[in-house]
């Protein structure tokens, strides 16, 4: 949430996450609070830095685990285990993340506007220990790099980049995401398209730069439903299909997202705070918007 009434026109964020892994063998609950500050560079350029502190609680169901000494080569799980179940089945720890983003905007003669974004984030900065056995099991740091361009063609009759009805608007949004944690690396490249109020997207994810050997293909479709110039509802559906032979064990996943946006909403009263709202050079459109996708 961007808060224009705060000094520096920063943002506040609240993250609440619950995850179950291995059919509920391991559960994790996370509550995080983040904040950011905006740094003006030029009239059409801005940087923003932020951090988040989270509190994580993980629990494990020892009774549901199966150990090797319980297995018979023919009859399966028939033996008692010699594993001495620990008394501790829950671990709680703080977790810290930091990041930054750079954004610029330009207008041109052939297109209505160009907006570029480059971001970097580091998760698990202090590598918290998440062991259930009082051992040293640090959670490896995770590095995320991302970048994208939003190209807008034929802006139509709207005088603002935040078009109310998106009449005649066509937005073309290529991007990439790079993720690295310990020895695990993934690369994602893709393209989103917004025509009027309809979203379409296609992304490919892989562990190498060989796009012809991608591990996953992600397809999305959605609707941007505006209620007025300052309020809109985004509804998005995505389908993650596993291309490799791993799909025989792990099926495709589905995701539905609902996002309600309020451009002028302010927790601290008033939307005309001391913040800096960069715009497009040339004045054909006003301030930059968040990515429409």
What pLDDT digit, counting tens, does each position of 193-236 carry? 988 789 899 999 888 777 666 688 899 999 988 877 778 888 99
Of residues 276 and 99, the one with the higher pLDDT is 99
Is 269's pLDDT higher than 80? no
pTM, rounded to two decimals: 0.79
Of residues 110 and 83, the one with the higher pLDDT is 83
Task: Return the SS3 of 70.
Answer: helix
> Could you tell me the strand order of the sheet in which 11-21 lies?
11-21, 26-42, 45-60, 90-106, 113-123, 142-153, 170-181, 184-195, 198-206, 216-226, 231-242, 253-262
């Amino acid at each position: 949430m961007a808060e224009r009434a705060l000094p520096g026109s920063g943002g506040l964020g609240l993250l609440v996450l619950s995850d179950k892994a291995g059919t509920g063998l391991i559960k994790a609950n996370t509550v995080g609070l983040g904040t950011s500050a905006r740094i003006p560079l030029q009239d059409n350029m801005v940087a923003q830095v932020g951090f988040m502190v989270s509190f994580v609680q993980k629990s494990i169901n020892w009774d549901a685990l199966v150990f090797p000494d319980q297995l018979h080569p023919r009859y399966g799980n028939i033996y008692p285990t010699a594993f001495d179940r620990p008394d501790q089945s829950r671990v709680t720890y703080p977790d810290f993340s930091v990041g930054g983003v750079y954004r610029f905007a330009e207008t041109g003669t052939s297109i209505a506007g160009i907006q570029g974004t480059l971001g970097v984030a580091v998760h698990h900065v202090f590598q918290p220990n998440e062991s259930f056995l009082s051992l040293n099991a640090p959670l490896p740091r995770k590095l995320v790099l991302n970048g994208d361009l939003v190209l807008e063609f034929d802006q139509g009759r709207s005088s603002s980049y935040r078009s109310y009805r998106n009449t005649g608007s066509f937005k073309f949004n290529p991007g990439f995401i790079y993720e690295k944690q310990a020895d695990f690396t993934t690369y994602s490249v893709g393209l989103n398209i917004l025509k009027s109020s309809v979203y379409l997207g296609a992304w490919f994810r892989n562990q190498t730069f060989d796009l012809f050997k991608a591990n996953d293909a992600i397809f999305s479709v959605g609707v941007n439903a505006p209620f007025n110039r300052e309020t809109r509802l985004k509804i998005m559906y995505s389908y993650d299909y596993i291309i490799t032979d791993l799909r025989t064990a792990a099926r495709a996943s589905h995701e539905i997202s609902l996002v309600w946006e309020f451009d002028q909403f302010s927790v601290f009263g008033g939307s005309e705070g001391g913040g800096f709202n960069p715009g497009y050079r040339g004045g054909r459109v006003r301030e930059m918007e968040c990515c429409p996708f």
